[in-house]
């Protein structure tokens, strides 16, 4: 894995160009993604190697490489619970991750959604890797993917909200990731279609959900600042 906050980094196919997305090699061979031939143990070992906490997230150090891949130490250390999930995860469980330009990252491991901040805010010089939350994704017979999750802060300084969609189209929305048990859920009634991607359009517009058969839907949560614990609303419409 690679990024500010993700220590091991393998090229040439693990990040997607639009939102720095990381995906497991188990199933998807998308030309925009980057995991290559490397054993599970050596991959985890690469993540554990230490990097100074005050290193700029733009610096990296070459650790090893060949004609097929490059492995670099990059950024600051991962939260302990992320390292634990990577180290002890069942090899049969698909894992994927996204590094958002907003500075938030999330890792999907089964139904576990692990969210943390990998990059400090411009006006905040302290390290923020400890800002970690764990959420539970909707039930699904298919493997969850990080590309069907969006974490965003409605306004600067607010605790982020999260929208997650199962491959079958069940949407779960947390107005605040600080409250795992407080969420709203709806079904998009896709009648067997499989979801492919979830694109964040902005706090006021919501998200665009696309399926593998080119159906698109607009998913819109109520404005975060208007929420009360019993008034979580979520709507969708086909485009």
For 139-192, what is each residue's pLDDT tens digit? 999 999 999 999 998 777 778 999 999 999 999 999 989 998 889 999 998 988
> How confident is the model at residue 36, as a pLDDT?
37
pTM of structure: 0.66
User: pLDDT tens digit string along 98-143?
Assistant: 999 888 999 999 999 999 988 776 655 444 444 789 999 999 999 9
Residue 141's pLDDT is: 92
pLDDT of 53 over the 60 cut = no
What is the Cα–Cα distance from 180 to 162, expressed in whole angstroms? 10
What does the mean pLDDT of the chain come to?
Answer: 73
C-alpha span between 102 and 57 (Å, rounded)? 14
Residue 136, class by beta-carbon neighbours within 10 Å (0-12 exposed, 13-18 middle, 19+ buried)?
middle
DSSP-derived letter for residue 214 is S
Residue with tokens 């499989």: 194
3-class secondary structure, 171: strand
Q: Where do the domains of the chain lie?
A: 147-239
* Strand pairing class (15-16; 21-23): antiparallel
Structure-block tokens of residue 212: 């593998």
């Amino acid at each position: 894995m690679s990024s500010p906050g993700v220590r091991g980094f393998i090229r040439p196919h693990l990040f997607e160009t639009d939102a720095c997305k990381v995906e497991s090699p188990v199933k998807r061979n998308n030309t925009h993604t980057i995991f290559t031939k490397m054993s599970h143990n050596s991959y985890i070992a690469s993540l554990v190697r230490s990097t100074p906490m005050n290193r700029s997230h733009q610096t990296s150090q070459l650790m090893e490489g060949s004609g097929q891949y490059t492995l670099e130490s990059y950024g600051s250390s991962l939260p302990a619970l992320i390292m634990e999930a990577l180290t002890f995860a069942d090899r049969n469980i698909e894992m994927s991750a996204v590094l958002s330009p907003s500075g938030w990252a999330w890792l999907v491991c089964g139904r576990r959604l692990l969210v943390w901040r990998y990059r400090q805010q411009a006006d905040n010089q302290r390290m923020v890797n400890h800002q970690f939350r764990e959420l539970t994704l909707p039930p699904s017979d298919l493997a969850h993917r990080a590309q069907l999750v969006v974490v965003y802060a409605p306004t600067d300084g607010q605790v982020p909200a999260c929208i997650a969609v199962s491959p079958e189209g069940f949407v779960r929305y947390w107005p605040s990731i600080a409250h795992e048990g407080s969420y709203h859920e709806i079904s998009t009634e896709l009648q067997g279609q499989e979801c492919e991607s979830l694109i964040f359009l902005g706090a006021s517009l919501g998200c665009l959900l696309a399926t593998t058969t080119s159906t698109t839907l607009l998913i819109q949560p109520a404005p975060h600042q208007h929420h009360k614990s019993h008034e979580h609303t979520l709507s969708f419409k086909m485009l």
